[in-house]
Structure 1
Amino acid sequence: MKSLSPEAFRTIQEWLYRTAGIQINAQKSSMVVSRLWRRVDALGLEDFNAYLAYVFGSDGAAERAEMLDRLTTNETYFFREPAHFARLKNQIIPSLKDRPIKVWCAAASTGEEPYSLAMVLDEQLGGDGWQLVASDICGRAVQQAKRGIYRLERLELLPVDYLKTYCRRGTGTYQGMMMIDRDLRTRVRFEQHNLLHPWPEAGGFDVIFLRNVLIYFDQPTRQRVIDNLCKALRPGGWLITGHCESLAGIRMPLQQLAPSVYRESNTQQAPRRITA
């Protein structure tokens, strides 16, 4: 039976918040059913109660990862919110050109955003002047991003010059698809990473893109995630968030330069609280 009881929904809701910091309300119940019912059916289980008993049982680790993937994957497209890419090209890159630039796309989803960033970086800096790390909590999304194959409608906002330079039209099985050029794909390093945890490597990033993710978090979780991002920024580093996201009330050592654009100001100063 495809219905999800209030108790089963709360179990999923609380687990998703504990695991990924993501809040879903009761209005998302139908979304949960649509994303998970195939798994219930594929496992030969009768209903969601049986599914959750399996997921949270001793043999459920792999299915928990599958459930997380299905509940956290969101559709995106190339060059979404294009003003951010213009700022990267016209302001951020010129301000950092004296050394190789290291960029982190912290919510890469299926790869459209990091490949958009890679196109701008390669165009402006060539092959040796940049590094790009892209991460997502969803392992399946990371694997899809590595393949770099997309439906044509995902590329509607892609500038024509980038389309010609960095994309290859699919044939045969991939008719109607586009593939990111192999040389560009190999320049992007994809990792699975949970933003509730600090980035595990030393060195720091000059620019971090985290867009259209914070809207799914409550204020304490936003603070925790921003703390982790700030620790991963180099002195003077940039943080770019989504246009619809607010960091009002968040304490951080960043100065807001424009809506959704922040820069590390002075590591000697105490973190300031961003006001609305």
Structure 2
Amino acid sequence: MNTEISTIALHKIRDYVHRTAGIVIGADKTALVTGRLWRRLELTGHTTYESYFAFVSSTAGEQERHIMLDLLTTNETYFFREPAHFNFLRDHIIPQQGPQKMRVWCAASSTGEEAHSIAMVLSDALGKCDWDILATDISGKVLEHARTGVYRAERINHIPRDYLQRFCRRGIGEYDGMLAVVPSLRSRICFEQHNLLHARTGDEQFDVVFLRNVLIYFDQPTKQKVVENILKSMRPGGWLILGHCESLQGLDLDIKAMRPSIYRKPLAAESMLKKVAS
């Protein structure tokens, strides 16, 4: 098997991922592409990336297309990544919520650590009050993992100790070395496959959207489209939280920066005043 990838094959794979998921794989990411896909060539009986992509593009390659996309779009995550955001949720957003049900959208959930971290904060602050979480990702494979709520024990390092005691259970027997998020917490999260290039259907409105560490993989036109889609599903006054290394600079959006990486959608009256003024 030839593990080298031609410029043409790399371009075709990069173009497919961009058209399908909006993610930009740089021309310098040859090692990433080959590192994640070379075993798929071996398993599907192809000796070159050209023949592999031809198969992926065919009707017979539909299942392999999903596998390839999963491998090239799945990113590392862990519990309570960038903890300042969870503190802001607990200390600033939740106290302003009022009596209505709180809905949170974890828009790039990967294997579920972020969604479960959010759930721990909401359960701690709101208890049995009415709240729920929608957690979405483009990858069906990572969502299957997320739904189990089972993780390797070494991934617990960033979970606060009291949360660890209240919301997680250590595995025994065949699950030794693993931890599981308690069922009462998992039941508050709906994991669903969704492509951020498409707007959500229906009239659901979220109070908070976590869109962290995903915009960095998009070019500017795709960022504009993705955030516009997100805003359609946010209630007036809702909060948008990005990764610490991300911003909405250069985008034309009706949203206000509250602090680095944290934004708020204007209330209906504020948005109307802005339109009149312009």
- Give the TM-score normalised by structure 1: 0.95
Equivalent positions of 1:213-232 (< 5 A) are: 213-232=214-233
Question: Which residue number in structure 1 is paired with residue 245 of structure 2?
Answer: 244
1:267 equivalent to 2:232? Answer: no
Contact 1:214–1:245 (8 Å) recurs in 2: yes
Name 1:211's counterpart in structure 2.
212
Q: Find the counterpart in structure 1 of residue 151 from structure 2.
A: 150
Q: Deviations along 1:182-232, whole A, 9 cap, x unmatched?
A: 111111000000000001231210000000000010100000001001111
**Worse-superposed segment, 25-34 or 129-138:** 25-34
In 2: Cα distance, 1:72 partner to 1:97 partner: 37
Q: Give the distance between the partners of 1:91 and 1:97, measured in 2 at CA.
A: 12
Residue 22 of structure 2 is aligned to residue 21 of structure 1: yes
Matched, 1:35 2:39: no
User: Is the contact between residue 74 and residue 109 of structure 1 (CA under 8 Å) also seen in structure 2?
Assistant: yes
| Offset, 1:237 | 0.5
Counterpart amino acid of residue 121 in structure 1: L
Q: Deviation per CA, 1:104-144, whole angstroms, max 9, x where unpaired?
A: 00000000000000000011111232111000011101111
Regions of 4+ moved over 4 Å: none
RMSD: 1.4
Partner SS, residue 59 of structure 2: coil
Give the 5 Å matches for 1:49-198. 49-198=50-199
Q: Could you say what secondary structure the match of 1:26 adopts?
A: coil
Q: CA deviation at 1:26?
A: 2.1
| Amino acid corresponding to residue 232 of structure 1 in structure 2 | S
Q: In structure 1, what residue type is equivalent to 2:169?
A: R
Partners in 1 of 2:65 and 2:202 — Cα distance? 26
Distance 1:47 1:263, change over 3 A: same
| Aligned-partner Cα distance in 2 for 1:253–1:142 | 31
CA distance 1:116–1:2, shift in 2 (3 Å):
same
TM-score by length of 2: 0.95
- In the alignment, what sits opposite 1:6? 7
Q: Which runs of 5+ in 2 are unaligned?
A: none
Matched pairs, number: 272
| One-letter amino acid matched to 1:220 | P
Q: For residues 62-92 of structure 1, what are the alpha-carbon distances to aligned partners after superposition, in whole Å with 9 as ceiling and x for unaligned? A: 1111111111111110000000000000010
Deviations 1:128-182 (A, max 9, x none): 3211100001110111100111112322111000000111101222211111111
**Identical aligned pairs, as a percentage?**
50
State the 1:271 CA deviation: 11
Determine the C-alpha separation between the residues in 2 that align with 1:127 and 1:200.
28
Verify the 8 A CA contact 1:253 1:270 in the aligned structure 2. Answer: no
Using a 3 Å threshold, how does the CA distance of structure 1 residues 228 and 208 change in structure 2: closer, same or farther?
same
